[in-house]
Structure 1
Amino acid sequence: MPVTAAAARLGILVIHNDPVPETEIWRMAPEGVSVHTARFECPRPADTEYVGSPAAALANAPDVVRGLDQLGRLGAHSVALCFGSSSFFGGPAFDAEFVAAAAAHAHGVPVYTAATAITAALRASDVRRPLLVMPPWFTEPTFRATEEYLGEVGVGETRLVQFELGPRWDGVARYNAFDEGAHWTIDPVEVYQQVVKAFHVPDHPRPDGVLVPGSGFPSRAAVVPLEQELGVPVITSNQAVLWYGLRHAAAGTAPNTVITAQGSLFTRRLP
């Protein structure tokens, strides 16, 4: 049954060592909305690049099954998989297959992926040529997979930039930076400054938006300053997950939860 967005209970599935999605979503959520987290072991082997997971295998992994079961019995109105890389490598087919497999464990609670929420947010914001801001621990295979995924969902042109951590991380392999704690060191002011610099590049088409696709990349506090400076929508993975969950919970009712302090996305309806 539809509920008012202001009373939504949002479930999220997050990898074992990622504190960022729940931290950011809690801070963005309006009063009355609760966020409930279940964790699963990241399928990336230690000291390796992540290159994807079969959707059914991930949905049926014991700790994912346990999380879906517990969030469903808890009474969440929806459950989001906050692990966009798995979708990027698997394509939109991964999203459909994961959701179908996960449904068997979630007691009827709707399941969606962060990538599904990002796709809906891009469409609702009419963004087709975003500046793609990649987390510092993403590597070339993830760059290519993300661009291919976006192409499949109708984003025809992107320009990609990677956030730079600085010289203290030069000795750490990029794909290990998150596990080494790099996410704790990211300053939203630095995010703002690097994105503004990357946005204004001579002899390149002006992007019509900014997309930050990494759930574990802290960027919430940079969204509104960037929108004010650049004059285009700014969409992050965690922002999209919250927006999609609120709008989904309020399906059939007026989407009366507008959080303008967290970006223009929250003024938009689901496409």
Structure 2
Amino acid sequence: MNLTTHGGAGPGDHPRWGSRARLGLLVIDTDPVAEFEFQAMAPAGVSLNAARFASPRLPGSGEYGDAARTVAESPDIARGLDQLGRMRLDALCVCFVTSGFFGGAAFDQAFMRQASERAGAPVVSASDALVVAARQAGMRRPMLVLPPWFKPEIAQAARSYLAECGIETAATLRLSGGPRWEGVEPWRIWDAGGQWDVRPAEVYREVRRAMPADADGVIIGGSGLRCHEAVAWLEQDLQRPVITSNQASLWRCLRLAGVHADGIGCSRFLSEQARG
């Protein structure tokens, strides 16, 4: 990367201010997790710049409508791409796997192409990043893990999306979220702030208990699900790769930006891939 692109900063100048790469995030309006996890995992010299967009699902409703098209045609997304695009970023990510799952692989690819043209930089979808990372890990039959606030229709869309991309799911686990949320409709968990209650230790325990013997890895979907701290424990105990939405998205953006870091979060797999 030509360092003069970002104001001439050298390797020792402001190591958290984008001297290696500048990345952009587009995050739904009430997601508190994506930026936190990206910041926690980003290597030194990589800066993050975020914009927000309205969720296609209205609070109190479980209906997403045509989520993929709504997000793709969102004025918030267009504004975010325009604004972030003027910031000379190296790559951007749309942190919302649900729209990709509902839209399907072909729609997802078309959206990324159009968004990249508008932003003037590569745009990654979280759903596509999961697939790219899973393929790199050699996954063919992983267990799919989803947040407590994903309803069955999203789980089915996720399985269909992965199948389109040649990945068969060995099993699907919807995390419980804890006793507080038993019997609560999935979307109401998010609306009531259930995302704040997720603890990586509980994610670890639930995934480990449910892991099928014939699964060759774990895919954890959901940009708003705090789980990156559990990855190293799971990979060590299961001896199989574990890929999360935010880790895969950051890894994909870094690769597009030409950054080969020593590690991405806690994932041994993504650490090895980042160096390659």
TM-score for the superposition, normalised by structure 2: 0.88
Give the equivalent residue in structure 1 for 2:122.
110
**3-state SS in 2 of match to 1:262:** coil
Q: 2:28–2:96: 8 Å Cα contact kept in structure 1?
A: yes
In the alignment, the residues of structure 2 paired with residue 152 and residue 47 of structure 1 have an alpha-carbon distance, to the nearest angstrom, of 31
Give the equivalent residue in structure 2 for 1:249.
257
The 1:173/1:267 distance shift into structure 2, 3 A limit, reads same
Give the equivalent residue in structure 2 for 1:265.
270
Determine whether 1:91 maps to 2:104.
yes
**3-state SS in 2 of match to 1:25:** helix
The 1:90/1:139 distance shift into structure 2, 3 A limit, reads same
Determine whether 1:68 maps to 2:74.
no
In the alignment, the residues of structure 2 paired with residue 2 and residue 114 of structure 1 have an alpha-carbon distance, to the nearest angstrom, of 27
Q: How far has the Cα of 1:2 moved from its partner?
A: 7.4
Q: 2:137–2:241: 8 Å Cα contact kept in structure 1?
A: yes
Q: How far has the Cα of 1:206 moved from its partner?
A: 2.1
Stretch of structure 1 that moved more, 75-84 or 5-14: 5-14
The 1:185/1:79 distance shift into structure 2, 3 A limit, reads same
Counterpart of 1:188 (choices 200, 209, 230) is 200
Q: How far has the Cα of 1:75 moved from its partner?
A: 1.6
Counterpart of 1:210 (choices 218, 239, 244) is 218
**3-state SS in 1 of match to 2:190:** coil
The 1:241/1:261 distance shift into structure 2, 3 A limit, reads closer
Structure 2: unaligned runs, 5 residues or longer: 4-10, 12-17
Stretch of structure 1 that moved more, 161-170 or 143-152: 161-170
In the alignment, the residues of structure 1 paired with residue 109 and residue 69 of structure 2 have an alpha-carbon distance, to the nearest angstrom, of 10
CA deviation string 1:109-134 (max 9, x = no partner): 11120111111100110011111111
In the alignment, the residues of structure 2 paired with residue 214 and residue 120 of structure 1 have an alpha-carbon distance, to the nearest angstrom, of 16
Q: 2:142–2:171: 8 Å Cα contact kept in structure 1?
A: yes
**3-state SS in 1 of match to 2:145:** strand
Stretch of structure 1 that moved more, 48-57 or 141-150: 48-57
Q: How far has the Cα of 1:54 moved from its partner?
A: 5.9
1:220-235 paired onto structure 2 within 5 Å: 220-235=228-243
Q: Which one scores higher on RCO, CA 8 angstroms, separation ≥ 6? A: 1
Determine whether 1:100 maps to 2:113.
yes
Give the equivalent residue in structure 2 for 1:219.
227
Determine whether 1:170 maps to 2:182.
yes
Give the equivalent residue in structure 2 for 1:28.
41
In the alignment, the residues of structure 2 paired with residue 239 and residue 112 of structure 1 have an alpha-carbon distance, to the nearest angstrom, of 13
Percent of residue pairs identical: 43
In the alignment, the residues of structure 2 paired with residue 181 and residue 42 of structure 1 have an alpha-carbon distance, to the nearest angstrom, of 15
Counterpart of 2:246 (choices 230, 235, 238) is 238
Matched residue pairs, number?
262
CA RMSD of aligned residues (A): 2.2
CA deviation string 1:91-125 (max 9, x = no partner): 1122122123323531x111120111111100110
Q: 1:147–1:158: 8 Å Cα contact kept in structure 2?
A: no
In the alignment, the residues of structure 2 paired with residue 238 and residue 188 of structure 1 have an alpha-carbon distance, to the nearest angstrom, of 14
Q: 1:52–1:86: 8 Å Cα contact kept in structure 2?
A: no
The 1:245/1:6 distance shift into structure 2, 3 A limit, reads farther
The 1:112/1:261 distance shift into structure 2, 3 A limit, reads closer
In the alignment, the residues of structure 1 paired with residue 189 and residue 2 of structure 2 have an alpha-carbon distance, to the nearest angstrom, of 41
Q: How far has the Cα of 1:259 moved from its partner?
A: 0.4
Stretch of structure 1 that moved more, 171-180 or 128-137: 171-180
In the alignment, the residues of structure 2 paired with residue 170 and residue 157 of structure 1 have an alpha-carbon distance, to the nearest angstrom, of 25
Q: How far has the Cα of 1:269 moved from its partner?
A: 5.9
Give the equivalent residue in structure 1 for 2:94.
81
Q: 2:145–2:173: 8 Å Cα contact kept in structure 1?
A: yes
Q: How far has the Cα of 1:11 moved from its partner?
A: 0.6
Superposed structure 1 runs of 4+ greater than 3 Å apart? 1-6, 50-57
**3-state SS in 2 of match to 1:23:** helix
Structure 1: unaligned runs, 5 residues or longer: none
In the alignment, the residues of structure 2 paired with residue 136 and residue 101 of structure 1 have an alpha-carbon distance, to the nearest angstrom, of 32
